[in-house]
Amino acid sequence: MATSAEIGTEGTLQIAEHFKPAQGGSRRRFGWTLLIAYLLLAIGGVCMVTPFFWMILTSVKPAPELVNFSFFPENPTLQNYLNVLNTSTFERWYLNSIIVAAISTTSVVFFDTLVGYTLNKFDFPGKNIIFIGMLGTLMIPTEMLIIPWFTMSVNWNWHIGYTQYWGIAFPGVITAAGIFLMRQFFDGVPNELLDAARMDGMNEFGIWWRIAAPLVKPAIAALAIFNFIGNWNAYLWPLILANSREFYTLPVGLSFFRGESTTHWEKIMTAASLASIPLLIVFLVFQRQIIRGIALTGLKG
């Protein structure tokens, strides 16, 4: 004769068995969902990668093959690369882009991190007003700022000679979006840690540089990478400020491969392929930081 404990145990097992989900059906549904997700990702990846491969393949096509609309070259050649590299100012355009992107990226990392730390960890009159004012600048279209930027550059002689490097870079040396990003990330730095450093006699700059900034390295890496990419691809402002072809950046210089009567597509694709090399290096070296930065900031390209 079964005891009450045994009856209770059997009843519990029967109830659990009754409500137990069908493992096979659940796995099948999960498998189909995963398959569809991978399929959509594959289609999206092909759509994004195909134009890049088309650019590379076009760069090794002789000019007569461009009218055939064939995807793969019939007689691949590197002559287009030699022609572009022999262009008198192409190497200078490359150097200009590196200098401008380096100036802007270094400055934005330093200033945005410092200002974001100050707005987060210090209390002073008007702090919130200053922060709201900075965020308000994000609603101003870049095109509306071109005239003030140009007026400032002319008044301060940033449009003459080598000062053009600074003139081209200065609109991006500090950004409201970067300040907002860093201010939010400094919330995760414990105030007790900073107070302990103050008690040990460390000055405020040292606390920021040696303690606070290293704790937000993922955000700093994301800020630096996205800023470098943005400045490397900048077109409108360098086109307006640079007063000679000697100081053009790569995006501006590429437009001069278009003639009045004809467009040298093979040269444009070759130059664009060469221009993408630094971005590919940045991605391959810092792909983990880029993915983490997208996850942390919500930015996407």
Contact of 221 with 289, CB cutoff 8 Å = yes
| Alpha carbon 298 to chain centroid, angstroms | 11
Share of the chain above pLDDT 90, in %: 40
- Examine the pLDDT at 203 and tell me if it is beyond 70: yes
Q: Mean pLDDT highest for which of 24-38, 107-121, 274-288?
A: 107-121
- Examine the pLDDT at 188 and tell me if it is beyond 60: yes
**In this structure, is the dihedral angle defined by the CA atoms of residues 101, 102, 103 and 108, taken in order, positive or negative?**
positive
Mean pLDDT of the 40-50 span:
91
Q: What is the pLDDT of residues 239-253, one digit of tens each?
A: 999 888 889 999 998
Mean pLDDT score of the chain, rounded to an integer?
A: 84
**In this structure, is the dihedral angle defined by the CA atoms of residues 245, 242, 232 and 165, taken in order, positive or negative?**
positive
Rounded to two decimals, the pTM is 0.78
Nearest CA among 220, 148, 134, 146 for reference residue 176: 134
Range from 4-18, 70-84, 214-228 carrying the lowest mean pLDDT: 4-18
Mean pLDDT of the 140-160 span:
90
Q: How confident is the model at residue 296 (pLDDT cuts 50, 70, 90)?
A: low
- Examine the pLDDT at 15 and tell me if it is beyond 50: no
Q: What local confidence, expressed as pLDDT, does residue 4 receive?
A: 43
Give the integer Cα–Cα distance in Å for 291 and 300. Answer: 10
Residue 258 main-chain phi, psi, to 5 deg: -95, 120
Q: How confident is the model at residue 254 (pLDDT cuts 50, 70, 90)?
A: confident
Tell me which residue has tokens 């050649």. Answer: 77
Domains of the chain: 89-297 (1.10.3720.10)
**Which tokens is 218 given?**
């993922």
Mean pLDDT of the 122-137 span:
91
Q: What local confidence, expressed as pLDDT, does residue 261 receive?
A: 65
Mean pLDDT of the 45-73 span:
85
Q: What local confidence, expressed as pLDDT, does residue 239 receive?
A: 92
